Structure 1
Amino acid sequence: MKMFDTVTQKLRDSRKIVFVTGAGISQESGIPTFRGKDGHWRKHDPMKLASIDAFYDDPKLVWEWYEDRRKNILAAKPNEGHFAISEMEKFKDVVVLTQNIDGLHQRSGSTNVLELHGSIIRIKCTVCNFSDNITENFESLPPKCECGNMLRPDVVWFGEALPQDVWKNAMKEASTCDIMIIAGTSLVVSPANTLPVYAKQNGATLIEVNPEKTVMSNDMDLSIQATSANALLRIISILKNE
């Protein structure tokens, strides 16, 4: 297919590839998306549960939802799309900027991952500076910090700013890549949707991988309408067989 030949040639000539990934690549591992048809939980709208207001209105309900999600995520496995991205590290300088909170990129072997929206397997205190990975089930919800205040999932909720150190590094990586591959995301969430702008200002080639056209498709240099697993597996197989 000519499209893949073009993509492969650009990858071959590149030095640094930045991936921007979203819910679509995780959905291929069986993790539901917020906006998808299965994006409802006990008749609650996850778009409303994932907010600081919802947390303080009903912290137990929000924690129950996140515990359900965490169990599903820990039971999921990285798919061929994740593994294709980690495999590319053998050939190129690869950085992953992900909107996902599931840790599947790291579990597939990617070593340079910036989690724009945090991680579901980390917790932090609502008051003090405590943060840590979740290593066991909580006896009661919401869990309490040693300082006596509530703990919360270490994720970015709607209306909250991204961690500034992570976002600063993400902008730097986007501004210094030769190729940016946007995989499994329609990039409707700000400020992640500005990352292609930083890449383009550096003269990078923008490649979109998504089964459907998105609002960003017309701004791409190349748009591959396929799932991340199928498209990225094909690209890495071509690179490996050169």
Structure 2
Amino acid sequence: MNKQTLAEFQEHLKKSRRIVALVGAGLSVSSGLPTFRGAEGLWKNFNMIDLATPDAFYIDPGLVWQFYSWRRYSALAAKPNRGHLALAKLSNLPQTNFITITQNVDGLSARSGHNSDNLYEIHGSLFTLKCTSFMCNYIEYNNFKAPLTPALRGTEHEFLKSSLDSESPEFSPVKQMKDSELPQCPVCKSSGTQSILRPGVVWFGESLPMQELNEIDDFLESEEGPVDLILVIGTSGTVYPANSYVDRVRLQGGKVAIFNTDIDESEIEGKDGVWGFKGDAAELLPVVLEPLIGEVKQP
């Protein structure tokens, strides 16, 4: 880590009163969760992007629920790392006006002790369940039950346990499942109808939650003044709306700090109001934020 870059960043950090953190999948890698890029974007030879769509759920809800049963199990087995804990400590400082915008659905930011009032999970959460019926608005938050139904038991593992020690482990087979074996809406069930629950995540082709986006806009355009600093953590920040948040902060005169394993050399040099910290964000954040949050111990 460049000492001059660190010193310049921390000097600005200590003066910052309004801070935004934009979080992507790279922060959760140290917790054992994949980024879904390249070969990590496959599950039992299915492209994960193909499974994360409303069409996929409509065609084969059993298949999609088995995929999300695996994702829920993996996220529950993971623990918040020191990067999550650093942001959680920052979120609870009374003297700092701070929000975290996370693109992750793994729930690790929420489980780290992050102040829920300033945490925006704009892609939803694996642990939120929603009814699929247009006539029902049932939503359940923080459901950590695994598996959700008896039929989903055993789908938490991608590979057969008996083959894990071999050079080519075998995928556990995908089950053929009836709709009645999948998570059911309790409200619809009590009225005598059957409606499947779905994961409360934003699938490809769906709109991001408008209420959360409006609240983020209110923070960025607050009468309290411009944002002093945006932390871009474990994400390229090039996809909308992430890229718009970075641009808006810079247009207001705010500075940018990037924490990622893949950073341009010009960003590492700290030019044009941008500081770059190359490496594992989970280990970098506790170090660079220490002047505000103090020591972050190992989880």
Task: Give TM-score, length-normalised by structure 2.
Answer: 0.75
Write the distance in 1 (CA, Å) between the matches of 2:272 and 2:5.
Answer: 17
Can you list the C-alpha shifts for 1:23-60, whole angstroms capped at 9, x where unaligned?
00011210111214323111001011111111111111
Task: Return the letter of the residue paired with 2:31.
Answer: S
Structure 1's 34 and 144: CA in aligned 2 closer, same or farther, altered over 3 A?
same
Percent of matched pairs sharing the same residue? 37
Deviation above 4 Å: which 4+ runs of structure 1?
216-220
Deviations 1:91-143 (A, max 9, x none): 62221000011121121121020010001001001121000032532244432
Corresponding residue to 1:119 among 115, 121, 125: 125
Look up the match of 1:138. 149
- Structure 1 residue 198 corresponds to structure 2 residue 204: no
1:22 corresponds to which letter in structure 2? G
Instruction: Give SS of 1:28's match.
Output: helix
Counterpart of 1:100 in structure 2 is 104
Match of 1:234 in 2: 287
Tell me which structure has the larger Cα radius of gyration.
Answer: 2
Superposed displacement of residue 226, structure 1: 2.0
Q: 1:65 Cα deviation (Å)? A: 0.5
Q: In 2, are the aligned partners of 1:82 and 1:104 still within 8 Å (CA)? A: yes
1:160 aligns with one of 199, 202, 206:
206
> Are the equivalent residues in 2 in contact too, given 1:208–1:220 (CA < 8 A)?
no
Contact 1:174 1:196 in 2 (8 A): no
| Distance in 2 separating the partners of 1:234 and 1:220 | 20
Tell me how far apart the structure 2 counterparts of residues 5 and 188 of structure 1 sit (CA, whole Å). Answer: 27
Residue in 2 aligned with 1:54? 56
Distance 2:138 2:235 in 1: 32
- Please give the root-mean-square deviation of Cα atoms over the aligned residues, in Å: 2.1
**1:26 alignment partner, one of 20, 28, 37:** 28
Structure 1 unaligned segments of length 5 or more: list them: none
Is there any run of 5+ residues in structure 2 with no aligned partner, and where? 152-180, 189-193, 295-299
Aligned length in residues: 240
Is the 2:86–2:293 contact (alpha carbons within 8 Å) kept by the matching residues of 1? no
**One-letter identity of the residue aligned with 1:130:** Y
CA distance in 2, matches of 1:13, 1:114: 24
- Aligned counterpart for 1:80 among listed residues 79, 82, 106: 82
TM superposition shift of 1:233: 1.3
Q: TM-score, normalised by structure 1?
A: 0.91
* Counterparts of 2:215 and 2:24, CA distance in 1: 18
> How far off its partner does 1:188 sit?
3.8
